[in-house]
Each structure stands twice: as C-alpha cells, then as structure tokens.
Amino acid sequence: MAQLIERYQIPSQSILVEHNGIALYRHEWPERSLAEGDRVEFIRVVAGG
C-alpha cells in the first residue's frame, strides 16, 4: 500500500486509505499487500466549516 501511495504521489498527510472497505491506520500501510481484484479508496481530508 505504501508503495502505491508513493508511486502516485498521493499526499499521505491528509488522506484516509480504505482497503476492501476497511479503513487502515497509517502504520498498517507498509505491511498491507494488494491482490488482483482488491478495492482501494483514497479519501482526502480537508478542513472546512
């Protein structure tokens, strides 16, 4: 997962990552592997009000 985020230059400071519908903690990214057919979502967190 960490390699995917780095490859696509996704700013990791302000995103939530879901892998197959499960939100991941940042410390889980390096150990999480992807397989064909997995679903990954990057949700960008922004400030507002």
Measured distance CA(38)–CA(13) in Å, rounded? 23
Q: 28 pLDDT band (50/70/90 cuts)?
A: very high
Q: What percent of the chain has pLDDT over 90?
A: 65
What pTM did the predictor assign?
0.80
What is the b/e burial string over 29-39, where b = at least 16 CB atoms within 10 angstroms of the residue's CB? beebeeeeeee
> Which residues share a beta bridge with 16?
43
Q: 21 pLDDT band (50/70/90 cuts)?
A: very high
Measured distance CA(3)–CA(9) in Å, rounded? 10
pLDDT at position 14: 86
Terminal-residue alpha carbon distance, the chain: 31
The residue among 5 and 18 whose pLDDT is bigger is 18
List the chain domain ranges. Answer: 2-44
